[in-house]
């Protein structure tokens, strides 16, 4: 698997399913460097829950891209997910933060302020 270059959270997936070009541009930049894009499984599930059925095909395409890796929840993550979700208010954002921390890679989100609860203030965040 290629080195990770970016993590996308639920907000990014929803924006992508609504045609936001900024998300696609970031994916292309990472792919051009030969890196992968991490999509936490909880973020993908939350996006499917929130998006209209018109957006489902775009989420399907995104999850099937060669440079995209959908990361499952593993047993060793549960303690962090449970604890981090208290401060972040959602399990999906907790997984996005954890995946960014594990891969030491930037996170694209529209929830920068919340992430300061679990990630260092200087963490590389790409605002949606």
Query: What mean pLDDT, rounded, does the chain reach?
Result: 94
Number of domains in the chain: 1
pLDDT at 1: 64
Give the pLDDT confidence score for residue 47 in this predicted structure.
Answer: 96
Q: Which of 20-24, 70-74, 95-99 has the lowest mean pLDDT?
A: 20-24
Mean pLDDT across 58-82 = 93
Residue 99 belongs to what domain range?
4-127
Total number of residues shown for the chain = 128
Average pLDDT over residues 42-67: 92
- What SS3 class is residue 6? strand
Q: Which residues of 19-58 are buried (b: 16+ CB within 10 A; e: fewer)?
A: eeeebeebbeebbeeebbbbbbebbbbbbbeebeeebeeb
Model pTM score: 0.93
Token couple for 27: 């994916």
CATH number at residue 108: 3.40.50.1010
Is residue 42's pLDDT more than 90?
yes
Q: pLDDT, tens digit, for every residue of 73-86?
A: 999 999 999 999 99
> Residue 111 in contact with residue 93, Cβ under 8 Å?
yes
């Amino acid at each position: 698997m290629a080195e990770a270059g970016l993590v996308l959270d639920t907000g990014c997936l929803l924006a992508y399913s609504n045609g936001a070009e900024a998300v696609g541009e970031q994916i292309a930049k990472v792919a051009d460097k030969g890196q992968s894009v991490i999509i936490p499984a909880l973020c993908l599930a939350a996006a499917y829950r929130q998006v209209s059925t018109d957006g489902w095909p775009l989420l399907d395409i995104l999850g099937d891209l060669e440079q995209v890796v959908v990361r499952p929840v593993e047993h060793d993550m549960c303690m962090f997910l449970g604890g981090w979700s208290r401060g972040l208010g959602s399990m999906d954002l907790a997984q996005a933060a954890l995946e960014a921390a594990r891969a030491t890679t930037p996170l694209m989100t529209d929830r920068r302020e919340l992430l300061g609860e679990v990630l260092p203030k200087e963490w590389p965040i790409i605002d949606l």
